[in-house]
Amino acid sequence: MNFEFTKEEKEFQEEVCEFIKKESTPEMLKETEDQGEIFGGPEGRKIIKKIAAKGWLTPTWPKEYGGLDASEVVSYMIREEMGYNGLPFGFVAAHMSGPTIIRFGSEEMKKAWLPRISSGEVEFALGYTEPQAGSDLSALKLRAEDKGDHFLLNGNKLFNTSCHIADYHWLAVRTDFDVPKPYKGISMMIVDLKSPGITISPLITMAGWRTNEVVYEDVRVPKENLVGEVNKGFYYLMAALDFERMFPLGIFRRLFDEIVAYAKETIIDGKPLSKKPLIRQKLAQLSIEIEVTRLLYYQLAHILDKGGIPNYQSSMEKTFATELTQRITNVGMDILGLYGQLKEDSKWAQLKGKVERYYLTSVVQTIVAGTSEIQRNIIAQRGLGLPR
């Protein structure tokens, strides 16, 4: 039993942090925040290419594809530190598409895509959700008709977040329209987002970020862009979730540390807020829950490093961590009181308006990538064998 990093891992962690801090620019930090921590903007691409050059974007990949053959613990640690230090930390290509290609893609596809992904050269946008297919992805309708040498795509995607700054769409489409079980007619393909016939329209979230509606009208996709076999897409998609569902708390852990600093520095009634019993209890409780999340998070890496596949544990970590983000921002707003409402560019704003901003963004964390309700179903059904 061992709950700490090894000496080497600790040293590596320091190296990562130092490198990030050295290479971070205010422009990159602002871009990341403005875009809702997604990757693909020009500033983010600059620093990520440097990080990728060190193998840190895809540390667990084989060296031949640009990885380090490193452990999952190391990989998880890097992502946590990237989030904590204000970098984008979720990469569709490196963390979802890449592993799927490694596992299910043809040799040609591996050669074509993996080096470009691991070097940080290309980014994908997730192409799952549709207006009528949210929690229930099997209901997706975007049609891909087999036209011999290509597929012809028609339909709509909704809330496909990175499409306006990513290069390719990691797209789930319907290739069989008459199967009795709808999930059996789904395929995965890689689509150039600059393809003729694709219209990307912005949707603005309450947090001020952009997400997108994407309309496909007679878009031609070459056959070689099909991932794995036709009609097996739902299986790939679900398998990827098993491997990749996780939520690094990093950015919110950073916010918590800033709230703690604020409570210690802010004097009301002649003593720091941090000496008020109610505030102490609230912050102590959050620090406990952050520790709980750390254990749940690295448990996933531990399971993978042992050669296993996280079962319900990913759902548990995702749910616990994302619900915690809302408790952190709630307590932050409580502690800031009337100051909590002031926006970044307002006189008297505290912590650069960060608490207010994160308070807004935390709302969606328990909804995207599988709602808390779906996750609890999974925990009960997969983790405890209760009936579907």
Partner 1 sequence: MDYDFNEEQELLKNAAKGFLSKECKPLFVREMEEDTKGITDELWQKMAELGWMGLMFPEQCGGVGGSYLDLIVLLTEMGYSCLPGPFFSTVVLAGTTIMESENEEMKQKLLPEIAEGKMFVTLALTETTAGYSPDMISVKAQKDGNDFIINGTKLFVPDAHIANQIICVARTKEGEKKEDGITLFLVDANSKGIEVTSLKTFAGDKMGEVVFNNVNVSNTNVLGEIDKGWSIIKKVLQKASIGKCAEMVGGGQRALELVLEQATEREQFGVKVGSFQAVQHHCANILTYLDTSRLMTRQAAWRISEGLPCEREVSMTKAWVSDSCRNLIALSHQSVGGTGFMEEHDLQLYFRRTKAAGVYFGDADYHREIVADAIGL
Catalytic annotation, residues: 244
Amino acid at the residue 364? V
Q: Which does 363 bind (CB under 5 to 8 A by kind): partner 1, its own copies, none?
A: partner 1
Q: Does 342 bind partner 1 (CB under 8 A)?
A: yes
152 lies in the binding site for partner 1 (CB under 8 A): no
147 vs 280, beta carbon nearer partner 1: 280
Question: Per DSSP, what are the bridge partners of residue 190?
Answer: 170
Which 318-337 positions form the footprint of partner 1 (CB under 8 A)?
319-320, 326, 330, 333-334, 337
Quick one: what does residue 178 bind among partner 1, its own copies, none, with the CB cut-off 5 to 8 Å set by partner type?
none
State the Cα–Cα distance between residues 160 and 169, nearest whole angstrom.
Answer: 9
Q: Does 314 bind partner 1 (CB under 8 A)?
A: no
Binding site for its own copies (CB under 8 A): 276-278, 281
| Position 264 contacts partner 1 (CB under 8 A) | yes
Contact 193, 167 (CB under 8 A): yes
Of 157, 167, 153, 172, the closest CA to residue 212 belongs to 157
Chain Cα centroid distance, residue 56: 16
Least CB distance to partner 1 at residue 272 (A): 8
Closest CA to 369 of 325, 304, 309: 325
The sign of the dihedral angle between the CA atoms of 286, 289, 293, 294 is positive
User: Could you tell me the smallest distance in angstroms from the CB atom of residue 338 to partner 1?
Assistant: 4
356 binds partner 1, rule: CB under 8 A: yes
In DSSP notation, 305-324 reads HTT---STHHHHHHHHHHHH
Question: What does the block give as tokens for 21?
Answer: 């801090």
Counting contacts by CB under 8 A, is residue 274 touching partner 1? yes
- Least CB distance to its own copies at residue 275 (A): 11
Q: Does 345 bind partner 1 (CB under 8 A)?
A: yes
303 neighbors 313 (Cβ within 8 angstroms): yes
- CA atoms of 359 and 342, how far apart (whole Å): 12
Binding mask 69-108 for partner 1 (x = CB under 8 A): ----x-----------------------------------
Other beta carbons less than 10 A from residue 243's beta carbon: 18
Q: Binding to partner 1 by residue 241, rule CB under 8 A? A: no
Report if residue 372 touches partner 1, rule: CB under 8 A. yes
Tell me which residues in 114-133 interact with partner 1 (CB under 8 A).
129, 132
